[in-house]
Amino acid sequence: MHHTTTTAPPPGTRRPTAPRRRALLAGAVATALALLVAGCGAAGSQAHRVRVGVSGDSTEWDVLAKEAKKKGLDVEVVPFDDYSLPNKALAAGDIELNAFQHLVFLAQSNAENGTDIVPLAPTTVVPMGLYAKKVGTLADLPDGARIAHPNDPANEGRALRLLARAKLITLKPGTGLFATADDIAANPRHLRFTPVNAQQTPRLLADVDAAVINDGVASLSGIRADTALFKDDPHSPDIRPYLNVIAARAADKDNPDYAEVLKLYASKPVQDEARRTSNGTAVHLDLSAAQLAAELSRVGRQLKGAS
> What pLDDT, on a 0 to 100 scale, did the predictor assign at position 9?
34
Tell how strand 184-186 and strand 117-122 pair up. unpaired
Distance CA 284, CA 221 (A): 23
Distance CA 30, CA 143 (A): 83
Q: pLDDT by residue (tens digit) across 36-73?
A: 333 443 334 455 899 999 987 789 999 999 999 999 99
Rounded to two decimals, what is the model's pTM?
0.72
Strands (E), the chain: 49-55, 74-80, 97-102, 117-122, 129-131, 146-150, 170-171, 184-186, 192-196, 210-213, 230-231, 244-249
Distance CA 80, CA 59 (A): 14
> What pLDDT, on a 0 to 100 scale, did the predictor assign at position 6?
33
In terms of Cα–Cα distance, which of 113, 93, 105 is closest to 252?
A: 93
Q: Which helix (H) or strand (E) holds 170?
A: strand 170-171
> What pLDDT, on a 0 to 100 scale, did the predictor assign at position 124?
86
DSSP SS3 for 150: strand
In terms of Cα–Cα distance, which of 62, 60, 54 is closest to 82?
A: 54
> What pLDDT, on a 0 to 100 scale, did the predictor assign at position 305?
65
Instruction: Quote the Cα angle for 18-20-26, to 5°.
Output: 105
In terms of Cα–Cα distance, which of 92, 103, 95 is closest to 77?
A: 95
Kindly give the confidence (pLDDT) of every residue in the chain, 307 residues in length, as a single tens digit, with 9 standing for 90 and above. 443 333 333 333 333 344 333 333 344 334 333 333 334 433 344 558 999 999 877 899 999 999 999 999 999 999 998 888 999 999 999 999 999 999 999 999 999 999 999 999 999 888 899 999 999 999 999 999 999 999 988 899 999 999 999 999 999 998 888 899 999 999 999 999 999 999 999 999 999 999 999 887 888 888 988 899 999 888 888 888 999 999 999 999 999 999 999 999 999 999 889 888 776 677 888 889 999 999 999 999 887 764 4
